[in-house]
Amino acid sequence: VQLVESGGGLAQPGGSLRLSCSGSGISFSSHHMHWVRQAPGKGLEYVSGIVRNGDKTIYADSVKGRFTISRDNSNNKMDLQLSSLRSEDTAVYYCVREEAGDWKPFDFWGQGTLVIVSS
Amino acid sequence: EIVLTQSPGTLSLSPGERATLSCRASQSLYTNYLAWYQQRPGQAPRLLIYGASYRATGIPDRFSGSGSGTDFALTVSRLEPEDFAVYFCQYYYTSPQTFGQGTTVEVK
């Protein structure tokens, strides 16, 4: 099982980035998927999630209206579009798999991609 | 919104000692959908415990979870060198999911 994030980097305040997560060795379409972030030296913060078929999405209040999550099950891929970026969005962003089923723990995490928002 | 408060913030112990970490919820978690994660330095978190007391696949039996309602605990019976890390609790029967702020277990 492998989840690989990409797309992180340096962005200016107000700018945009698109993060991607590619899954291999998993039944991608069988799992709800999520993004969780961790600011430098801080704890874990839930960012966004998307159900198996992509019909429903959820966002933390801190990113609602600025971030958009999507998935492409045919290519085992999930994206997170980050817009109107703020300095407080600086963090490592983890792609996370929810255990198969509903209301399950997060059983597999990618290694993360670092987003830095700075002028 | 349920808030999870972990204590202590930092636990200073020696290898071989017992560690007990606390996670307290702001209201009762009737479903006990409480998980614990370990994060070693420079690594992603990994699932240790789910359903408050069930060990995830491959987790050594020195790790155990307990509790119900509002008070939960993670116990490491005898600390190994690789157990010095940060531990987070999570309530996953809610959307969006909620994490505690973490407890660092450091070498004394």
Q: Each residue of B54-72: pLDDT tens digit?
A: 999 999 999 999 999 999 9
The pLDDT assigned to A63 comes to 98
**pLDDT over threshold 90, residue B35:** yes
B35, B44, B101 ranked by CB distance to A105: nearest: B35
Quick check: A107 and B56 CB within 8 A? Answer: yes
Which residue of chain A comes nearest to B47, CA vs CA?
A: A107
Quick check: A46 and B88 CB within 8 A? Answer: no
E strands, A1-119, are: 2-6, 9-11, 17-24, 33-38, 44-50, 57-59, 67-72, 77-82, 91-98, 106-109, 113-117
Any A CB within 8 A of B93 CB:
yes
Q: What is the largest CA-CA distance in chain A?
A: 42
The one-digit pLDDT tens for each residue of chain A (119 residues) are 899 999 999 999 999 999 999 999 888 899 999 999 999 999 999 999 999 999 999 999 999 999 999 999 999 999 999 999 999 999 999 999 999 999 999 999 999 999 999 99
Any A CB within 8 A of B2 CB:
no
Edge-to-edge strand order for the sheet containing A2-6?
A2-6, A17-24, A77-82, A67-72
Task: Say if residue A20 is exposed, middle or buried (CB neighbours under 10 Å; 0-12, 13-18, 19+).
Answer: middle
CB B48 within 8 Å of CB B54: no
Quick check: A46 and B96 CB within 8 A? Answer: yes
B31, B56, B99 ranked by CB distance to A46: nearest: B99
Which residue matches tokens 């799992």?
A: A31
**pLDDT over threshold 90, residue B44:** yes
Q: Distance of CA A77 to CAs A7, A51, A70, B17, B78, Å?
A: 13, 13, 9, 43, 40
B43, B47, B99 ranked by CB distance to A43: nearest: B99
Distance between A99 CA and the closest CA of chain B, angstroms: 10
Residues for chain A: how many in total?
A: 119
> What tokens appear for A15 in the block?
């700018």
